[in-house]
Structure 1
Amino acid sequence: MTAPTVDVHAHVLLPEVDRLVADRPGHAAARALDARRNGPDALAVSGAMVRERLGPLTDVAQRLAAMDRAGVDVQLVSPSPSHYHYWADRDLARAVCETANTATAKHCAHAPERLRGLGLVPLQHPDLAVRALDHAVGEGLAGVEIGSHAPGRELSDPAYEPFWELAAETGAIVFLHPFGCTLDERLDRWYLSNSVGQPVENAVALSHLIFSGVLDRHPRLRVVAAHGGGYLPTHLGRADHAWRVRPDARGCAHQPSHYARRLWFDSLVHDPHVLRELVRVAGADRVLLGSDFPFDMGAADPVAALRAADLPEPDFHAVRGGNAAALLTPEETR
């Protein structure tokens, strides 16, 4: 039987979360930082773009119709990264994550055979992340979505060890999706904040997971990197060289390229040559179809974009859906 076509990178907009944070202390400062990082031209274009896509971002019927047009059978739906709100204090952060988890689960419950969901955890409060992951799994979600860092904390921070341990123990998917780049105003023109910033943040976050030994300590961890892992997979030669020649780069047990086959990556790289290289580096069993539905930086026809890479037919079908179907199947039933 042919595996369903599964898109692991699709978003939902949650008005419940927006209402929760409106007018809260810290929200205005966070919006101001976002404005500085993106610049006025990007904000104007993005605002209009999101308004045009509110239907498929919030309405299940419109989402399913768009999936049918794209030939997608199943979506793994994650909250818009604009809902992270890593500035929030403990009480608000807990409420944001639990509200997002419940609302995403409710959205997916309208079509459970076609929609699976991911929740959120408050990276700014590592001790609350375990509780939030528990809550997400308890809501029936397949795991959680996280950013590339929290203010003052990288993903290599030892405070996250209990979170990684629980994610590995439960088999929860951790979808790594950056939001905002710490290069700030250097990227505030020409939408560099996204076209350059997102791949940079992916590469930095994954490097922290690799070099710090997180993946050594938690070999069952299931991390899926958005945007094909950013710049990292195609530049692992430099990381491997540093690991070989510099003792201060030896935080992990193996050279960094080893870990490309311990992670999963979506296919959203916008270039068939890069996609073929990603499959070569990570393995055809570690790449998953991704569209960034329904945003303008996504792929309107992700299957066609995958087909353009001209992969061997078994690899094409693995990326199209076979790998994701296996990843979304509980371990005890596999």
Structure 2
Amino acid sequence: MGENIQKSRTGQRAFGSREWKFEKDAVFLVTGGAGFIGSNLCEAILGLGYEVRCLDDLSNGKPENVDFLAAHPGYTFIHGDIRDYDTCLAACRGAHYVLHQAAWGSVPRSIEMPRLYEEVNIKGTLNMMEAARHSGVQKFVYASSSSVYGDEPTLPKREGREGRVLSPYALTKKVGEEYGRLYTQLYQLDTYGLRYYNVFGRRQNPNGAYAAVIPKFIKQLLNDERPVINGDGKQSRDFTYIDNVIQANLRACLAPHDAAGEVYNIAFGGREYLIDIYDDLCSALNKHIEPVFGPERAADIRHSNADIAKARERLGYNPDINFHTGIALALEWYKENL
């Protein structure tokens, strides 16, 4: 798909419309649409010429992520909470595709606030699936997480080979997957669970105690601060650039019915060590700052990388931005926007 992609004024690549054939009047609902992943999905879909509804209560999402879309004739912002079923139902009416991204993230924060995670991530997801079912939605694509693999040590991580979950956040995502399976099996709602692996890129929030590691490192290094690395830095992750995630969501919307009711690893299929990432960022930014090594975080999975064969085969997912290209694109965006 690379030959059909250009770069937009916001840094997002424009996905070539020849590849994505939806109904001319297709309506997409993106929950959590003012967040990091959601706002990028909204922008990409509008760029393809389709109508987008953005549902967000702005508890995590930020107005500035989507304010620039307000003038687009195909864009509608809905201020609402997925914990309210009537809001979900109203948002789903007339929608063809639901991309359910709304959730509270962060493993450490979920340990501190398990009841909130139950309310938003489980009840909210169930509300959205039920609303989609009663509204005749064609495809329901939802964000899951690599955290569902829990204490299963085998690499690469493969669907169907999960361990015990290690955090309330991971549990909420696992429950969401089970609801997805049931809603396809019992109600014939085509659901597709996307297990994201450490997504990064433009608009990811670098601020706060629960910020993701890459944007946090970048901001601190740009400000000549000493970042804290939890543990020894030898943890490894399969980091996934945002445009690969956009592709995966669009692929799922076009996937056949026999691929529904399943979950899919969404990653690049690589493995990067945290300390190497830090050194690479220092080199790219011409910084010479020694990090501070802090205690390991509770419930962290030490090593994670994905087998993406199932997503390739069943969804046609073909990620084309590797980690190093993604880091270069992310650095370019943060330099211009921080």
Q: What is the TM-score of this pair, normalised by structure 2?
A: 0.32
Q: Give the structure with the larger strand fraction.
A: 2
**Greater RCO, 1 or 2 (C-alpha within 8 Å, sep 6+):** 1
Q: Give the structure with the larger helix fraction.
A: 1
Q: What is the TM-score of this pair, normalised by structure 1?
A: 0.32
